[in-house]
Amino acid sequence: MNLGVSVLSDIGVGTARGGRERNEDSYLVCHDGRVRWLADGIEHEEEREGEGLLVAVFDGMGGHADGHVASATAARVLSKLYQPGTIPERPARVLSKYVQDAHRQLHTIAAARGQVRMGTTLTAAWLIDRRAAWVHVGDSRLYLMRDGKLTRMTTDQTRNEFARRDSRTPTSDGDRLAQNFIYGSRGLGENARLRLDWGVDSGQLDVLPGDRLLLCTDGITSALDDPTIETTLRAVGGDAAPLALKDRAVERDGRDNITALVLSYG
């Protein structure tokens, strides 16, 4: 299957228009014997063999110290899953367990040094043959574009989202995130453990020729609604898609960092 990967990460509108002083986002692309990741706005690369294609986007939490460190750390840790060996029978379960275990280890290490202050979202997809395993922490997103129609695969992990799942009453501060990678659950549960409900926060899908997957941080989704993202992806193909999404977000005065990663099949 022919496969194209295009990615863009940008500071956004910048401080002159009320935006960020630095890019706290990161991304990871592991494919064809190469591992690429972003750290403090600079792309790094190393040669390494591995199974399938592993990609992810991360949004270091702006309200925490060292958000850019958290996102780059998450990218490096997740990249260790990309290594040669036997292809797992259930890659989605392996991916979800790996993220859970990595979160626990990083949180424990950080807690041993004092108050845990670093945090990042994490949205990842691991493609092996024609299956895409995925996992999601926070409010970065995964979309599937098929036959010109955009489908959101992930649900933002807000307080009210978890309240809805548990049949609890929504709260006035319910739009706030309920958890993120490394930092924990923001006081809503056991900080060393993530809530990853199967089929909602992690899962697997079969990919077809012509499909496109979009992984993006909320620098895109806070500025562009889903119909606008769909229209943009319909109009622009190939490597130009992430740039087109960034330009639309900047036009809408999106003030957050912007990261978009697009996988194109066939």
Could you list the pLDDT tens digit for every one of the 266 residues in the chain? 688 999 999 988 766 665 567 899 999 999 999 999 999 889 999 999 999 999 999 999 855 558 899 999 999 999 999 999 878 989 999 999 999 999 999 999 999 998 888 899 999 999 998 999 999 999 999 999 999 999 999 999 999 999 999 999 999 989 999 999 999 986 577 899 999 999 999 999 999 999 999 999 999 999 999 999 999 999 998 889 999 999 999 998 877 899 999 999 87
Q: How far apart are CA 46 and CA 31, in angstroms?
A: 11
Place of tokens 């899962």: 203
Strand partners, 59: 25
Token pair, residue 74, equals 């998450």
CA 106 to chain centre: 18
Locate tokens 């935006």: which residue? Answer: 19
Helix extents (H) in 83-225: 91-112, 159-165, 218-221
Q: Taking the alpha carbons of 250, 265, 28, 56 in that order, is the dihedral positive or negative? A: positive
Whether this prediction's pTM lies above 0.75 is answered by yes
pLDDT for position 189: 73
The Cα 67–Cα 59 span in angstroms is 8
- Which of the 8 DSSP states describes residue 33? T
Q: How many whole angstroms separate alpha carbon 205 and alpha carbon 127?
A: 10
Residue 87 neighbours by CB distance under 10 Å: 10
**Tokens 């199974």 sit on residue:** 51
Q: Which pLDDT score, from 0 to 100, does residue 164 have?
A: 95
Burial degree of 189 (CB within 10 A; 0-12, 13-18, 19+): middle
Q: CA-CA distance, 152 to 265, in Å (whole number)?
A: 18
Q: 10 Å Cβ neighbour count for 205?
A: 19
Structural class in CATH, domain 3-265? alpha beta
Can you give the residue ranges of every domain in the chain?
3-265
Cα(59)–Cα(44) distance, rounded to whole angstroms?
A: 17
